[in-house]
Amino acid sequence: MGSQSKLGLSAVFDQHTNGAKSRVVVARDTALHGSTSQPDEKRVLHLLDRAMASYTGRNVPIEAWKHLLPQGKVIGLKVNGLGGKGISTHAALVWAICERLQQAGVPAGNIVVWDRNARDLQACGMTINTSDRSKVRCFGSDVAGYEDHEETWGTARIRLSKLLTRECDMVINLPILKDHDQAGLTFSMKNMYGVIDKPFLLHANGCNPSVADLNCIPAIREKVSLTIGDAISSVYQGGPGFHPECLWFPNALIVGEDRVAVDHTAWQILESKRAEVGLSTLEAAGRAPRYIATAADANHKLGVNDPRHINLKEI
Amino acid sequence: MKNLSRWYVAVVLITLATFVAGTGCKKKGADPFPKSNAVAGWEKTDETRVFAAKDLWQYIDGDAEQYVAAGVVNAATSDYKYQGQLEAVVDVFTMADAGGAAKVMGAGQADAKSVQLGDAGVQQAQSVIFRKGPHYVRIVAYEATPDGPQALLALAKAVEVKL
C-alpha cells in the first residue's frame, strides 16, 4: 500500500508530491438483502472481509485488521442514526466490525459504538451499554457530554463530544450514504456533525465550508482515520431523513482512509442513481456538495477529490 | 311571559356558545396522537416528543431549515407499531398558518395517490402525508408490507380527526 498503509494525514498530504494515489474500495454484493428489507448478517461480514482484504492487500481478515489497528487502544465506531430506523448505519455492519476487531485482539470493552444520543444509537439497532467492559460499549454524547472549551477552525466554532476527545484513541467512521437537502450529500465528512454540540450552526451555504472546516479540527482530523461507509441502503432524494419512496439498495461498502476521496466516490454513486431514476444532478438542483472540493483545497488539505489521484477499486 | 322567553333563549344561546368555545379550545390543545388500540392493530410504542422550532434540529438536523423557513411553530412525534410488527413514526408539524403547511407539503409527489384527508393528502406504499389547517402530518412505515397502506391510512384518519 506504500504511503497508504499508515493511518495519518501525512500520508494523505503527500499524495500529490510523491504521486501516490488515495485508495478507495467499493465492495458490492447484489444479494446482500435477499428478499427482506434487512441485510443478511453473514453476507455483510463476508462483504466486509472482501472490502478489507482488497483495501489492505491482506486476504486473511484478522491480518487485514491487525495491519490497521494501533495496539492496546480504544477504538470508537461513529455510526449515524439521525435518519431513524429507516436509514441508519446497519447493525449488521457494526457487529461484523466488532467481531473482527475482537478477533484482531481488541478487547470488547475497548470498542465503543457511539453517536449523538441513545435514540440515534437505538435507531441503528444498538443496545446501550455504558459500563460493562466485558461487552462492546455503546453510548452517546448525551451521556459522555461535551468539552467545556470551544474549538475553532474557520467557520467551525464548536464543542467536541468527550467520546471523541477522551474516550477513543482511534475512530472508525461508519456513515450511512444519504442525499442531503442542503449539503447535497452526507457521508464521511458530514458524519462529523454528530460529534459536536450544535451542528445546526454549521448548515449555512450548503454546509460549505463548514464541513471541511469541522474536519480540520485536530481531534477529528487525527483520530477519525478510517471510513467504512455504509452504502447497504441509501436515500437518493429527500435526505437526510427517511423517505421510503426514495430508498434504494446499493448493497455496498465504501472503504478508505482519505475522507475526501471517500466522499467524492460516494457522490458519484449517488449521482449515478439519481440519473438512473431521472432526477437532476445535485449541481442542477442547486445543492452540489461543494464542501468536498473545499476539503481538498490548499487551505484544508484533508484529501483528494481529483479522480486522477484516486485509486478506485470496485469489487 | 315574553321576557321569560327572551331570558330562556339568551341562556340557551350562552350555553351553546360556551359549549362551542369549550369544544374548540379543547380541540386546539388536543393530543393528535391516538392512544394504543384506539385504531385497530396500532400500538403507541413511545412517548410523544415535542420540539419547538428553535430545537427542531435536534430531531431532524438539517431538514429543520425548510420547516423553519415555512414558519414551523413546533413538531411532535411518536412511534407506533402495527400488529406487533410494522413500525412507523407519526410526525405532526404545526405551522404558523395553513400556507406554511401547504409550503412544506409541496406541489405533490411522483407516484403518490391522492387520498381524502384534511385539506390535501397523498399516500405511497410506506407513507401517508396530509395537511389540515396549519398542521402538516407525515406517517412513515419503516418497511413495506401488504396490509401496510391500509393500516397507515387508518392511523392517518385517526390523527386527522383529532386535529
Residue of chain A with shortest Cα separation from B58: A200
Domain count, chain B: 2
Res. B106 pLDDT band, cuts 50 70 90: confident
The answer to whether the CB atoms of A86 and B62 lie below 8 A apart is no
Q: Region of A223 please: left (phi>0), alpha (psi -120 to 50) or beta.
A: alpha
For testing contact with chain B, the best of A242, A274, A277 (most B CBs within 10 A): A242
User: What CATH fold (topology level) applies to the domain A12-314?
Assistant: Rossmann fold (3.40.50)
Asked whether the beta carbons of B105 and B136 are under 8 A apart, the reply is yes
Residue A2: predicted pLDDT: 34
Q: Which residues of B touch A180 (CB under 8 A)?
A: 62
**B54 and B104 assigned to the same domain:** yes
The answer to whether the CB atoms of B61 and A193 lie below 8 A apart is yes
- The dihedral over CA atoms of A41, A44, A46, A47, expressed in degrees to the nearest 10, equals 170
pLDDT in tens, chain A (315 residues): 333 333 433 343 333 334 579 999 999 999 999 777 889 999 999 999 999 999 999 999 999 999 889 889 999 999 999 999 999 999 999 999 999 999 999 999 999 999 999 999 999 999 999 999 999 999 999 999 999 999 999 999 999 999 999 999 999 999 999 999 999 999 999 999 999 999 999 999 999 999 999 999 999 999 999 999 999 999 999 999 999 999 999 999 999 999 999 999 999 999 999 999 999 999 999 999 999 999 999 999 999 999 999 999 999
Residue of chain B with shortest Cα separation from A278: B110
**B44 and B93 assigned to the same domain:** yes
**B7 and B45 assigned to the same domain:** no
Q: What is the CATH number of the domain that holds B57?
A: 3.40.1000.70
Q: Which residues of A touch B140 (CB under 8 A)?
A: 86, 242-244
**B26 and B48 assigned to the same domain:** no
Residue B143 in contact with partner chain A when CB distance is under 8 A: yes
**B147 and B103 assigned to the same domain:** yes
Q: Which residues of A touch B105 (CB under 8 A)?
A: none
Res. B6 pLDDT band, cuts 50 70 90: confident
Domain of residue B141: give its range. Answer: 32-162
Q: Which residues of A touch B66 (CB under 8 A)?
A: 181
**B85 and B143 assigned to the same domain:** yes
What pTM was computed for the model? 0.90
